[in-house]
Chain A
């Protein structure tokens, strides 16, 4: 069964989702649903955003080489996530976004989330993880010229992205637990997750410190050698 076979339908989805579906969902959540249903709305928005991106991806003429490099990077993220206390996904997403652009970054982050969860356990957190990592990739793609120029900026971005990822996931934990956003619970969740946040931020720092340059050289080398 092919769900979206028709390219015109896909084209339509690209317009309908951001302009109609997401605002309608948020408005519906605000107006109709009882106040404690932020969870439903946020989950819906996360899923729609990811679907939107994927429909856009199918539209573009992506060359075979870029496509294969994205899947190589996603596989490296998954293999890296299997090493304990080692969270390379954010760092690798940032690196690939820097060199191959924001779209490849979004795709790497989102796919690394959904595929590695096959090994670590899927959950209702998967769409949120996809969105969080995807957006980190997209932003790194936008900031690519700056990040390439300054290593300090890159490291700061990595630490901030790690902390932001962890805090976004805490928002999700609270929404899941309570249905609505409860600030007291959020503070508890952030405090409880503080060691994790620190691990995320530090491992991003270490990864970008050690790997950003060699990885960049490798990607550059492949580009020179094969003319990607």
Chain B
């Protein structure tokens, strides 16, 4: 079973770039609605329950939707006048659209974070610069290592009776001391690591790297598919030429616009389609056993 998470990271990154890029740069209501719906479906499929994050996003949506009509007074349809400033229908609708865009992009990035784990980032950066990839992988290793070491230092300090946690100032000073010990230890440890690397010949030859992912037919398909669908969607948006100010206007829906919207709809659902395809395949395999 090869879900969306198992595709080549470069293909997946291009997919996310295309789908979020269009949502960010095309303030077209149909595109935004499709993007928001697709992002929610993808999020539910790839990341599971969001929990409290959904409520936070809803609050963000409401605040952002309401701010625009209060500070922006463009537009021709005046709804009412507040503090000698007109509040317009266009600004209100634009605020809702902008808020939808922000929320959709947030959800796309949450999906991105679920899918693009640090090993995949390393794969992409490693292509850019092997040395940078080495720094990245060392850093990612240091984060949990420092956590463990901090715990050890803290236990030793507590056992020596050097600090208690029953008053705030003492615990702050203790915390600072643990941090200070940690920094010294981390720096010396780093130097020793570096010396050991040099002793083993780091930097003498060309750096090669370990590649966790290969290109398969599906990856190429995902890459070209994303780019083609994104191109079609951009053409459709361009043909529609939606404007918000001063009055809401758009070219009539022609075949190109419909094709563009359709393409973007398919693009947002690509992970869901891959998911469904694999589920059906799996179902067939089980039933044929």
Binding site for B on A (CB under 8 A): 1-4, 36-37, 39-40, 51, 54-55, 57-58, 61-65, 67-72, 74-76, 78-79, 107, 111, 115, 118, 121-124, 176-179, 182, 184-185, 188, 210, 214-215, 218-219, 221-222, 225-226, 228
Contact = CB atoms under 8 A, between A and B. Distances in A.
A23 B106 CA distance: 30
A182 B72 CA distance: 8
Interface stretch (B29-37, B109-117, B275-283): B109-117
Given A79-B146, A115-B140, A188-B67, A54 B197 contact: no
A185 B131 CA distance: 42
B194 A39 contact: no
Contact of B135 (A111, A123, A124): A111
Nearest to B8: A1
B267 interface: no
A214 B109 contact: no
7 contacts: A2-B127, A39-B25, A51-B128, A68-B190, A74-B135, A79-B147, A182-B72
B176 interface: yes
B105 interface: yes
B190 A1 contact: no
Contacts of A62: 131
B129 interface: yes
Contacts of A222: 187-188, 191
B183 A1 contact: no
B92 interface: no
A58 B198 contact: no
Interface of B: 10, 20, 24-25, 27, 64, 67-68, 71-72, 98, 102, 105-106, 109-110, 112-113, 116, 118, 121, 126-132, 134-136, 138-140, 142-143, 145-147, 150, 176, 180, 183-184, 186-191, 193-195, 197-198, 202-203, 211, 215
B139 A67 contact: no
A57 to B, nearest CB: 7
Given A40-B25, A54-B129, A68-B194, 5 more contacts: A67-B134, A72-B189, A111-B135, A111-B136, A121-B113
A215 to B, nearest CB: 7
Nearest to A74: B139
Contacts of A182: 71-72
Nearest to B74: A182
Contacts of A78: 139, 143
B74 to A, nearest CB: 9
B185 to A, nearest CB: 10
A79 B131 contact: no
A65 B194 contact: yes
B20 A124 contact: yes
A124 B109 contact: yes
A184 B72 contact: yes
B71 A124 contact: no
